[in-house]
């Protein structure tokens, strides 16, 4: 028997795992994804809202009784130069308030390159967009996450509370385009 007969085939050699701290790409991705999911869940709920809302002024921005499904109402928050849209969706949404949890608010400046998206709300799909510059579109039922286009981050969502019939803005999730730190309005 020659030495070449004793060698394992190349495909079998790749299957043998090395002892120690090495992990396969698949194991790394599964472990990393699990860690992200756990960390995202730990800060959820009232504790996360308190962190997002701390430092922001409270401002009444509308009334639940005055909103219509599919409507978009402009308002400024947390300062008078930051424009946002208050919308009543036809379905429940992440961060939504009201009896059907379908009232949400988002900043109307695209986080990709700062184009204004006022008037691009599409009620039939619960999205805002496309952005006039690069066609980014955002799902308002999923905290303003990117559906398509060049944007790489979600639209900043305005944290809302219902105080009876009043809609109160209490904070912001995300960073406004053009700012290195969100103004608190205080």
- The reply to whether 134 belongs to the active site is yes
Query: Phi and psi dihedrals of 88, rounded to 5?
Result: -110, 110
> Which one is catalytic: 112, 125, 143, 150?
112
Q: How far is CA 67 from the centre of its chain?
A: 23
Catalytic residue among 125, 134, 143, 150: 134
Query: At CA 131, angle to CA 130 and CA 133, rounded to 5?
Result: 130
Q: Is 125 a catalytic residue?
A: no
Give CA angle at 35 (31, 40), nearest 5°: 150
* E-strand stretches of the chain: 59-63, 72-76, 83-88, 103-107, 121-122, 127-128, 137-139, 145-148, 157-163, 166-173
Contacts of residue 4, Cβ cutoff 8 Å, sequence gap at least 6: none
Catalytic (active-site) positions: 112, 134
């Amino acid at each position: 028997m020659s030495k070449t007969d004793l060698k394992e085939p190349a495909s079998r050699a790749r299957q043998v795992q090395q002892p120690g701290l090495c992990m396969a790409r698949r194991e790394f991705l599964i472990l990393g994804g699990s860690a992200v999911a756990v960390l995202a869940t730990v800060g959820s709920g009232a504790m996360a809202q308190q962190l997002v809302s701390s430092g922001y002024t409270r401002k009444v921005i509308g009334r639940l009784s005055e909103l219509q499904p599919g409507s978009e109402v402009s308002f400024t928050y947390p300062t008078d130069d930051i424009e946002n849209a208050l919308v009543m969706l036809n379905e429940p949404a992440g961060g939504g308030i009201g009896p059907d949890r379908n009232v949400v608010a988002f900043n109307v400046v695209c986080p990709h390159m700062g184009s204004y998206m006022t008037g691009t709300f599409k009620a039939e799909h619960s999205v805002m967009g496309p952005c006039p510059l690069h066609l980014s579109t955002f799902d308002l039922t999923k905290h303003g996450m990117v559906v398509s286009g060049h944007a790489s981050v979600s639209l900043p969502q305005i944290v809302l509370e219902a105080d009876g019939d009043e809609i109160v803005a209490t904070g912001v999730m995300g960073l406004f385009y053009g700012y290195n730190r969100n103004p608190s309005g205080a």
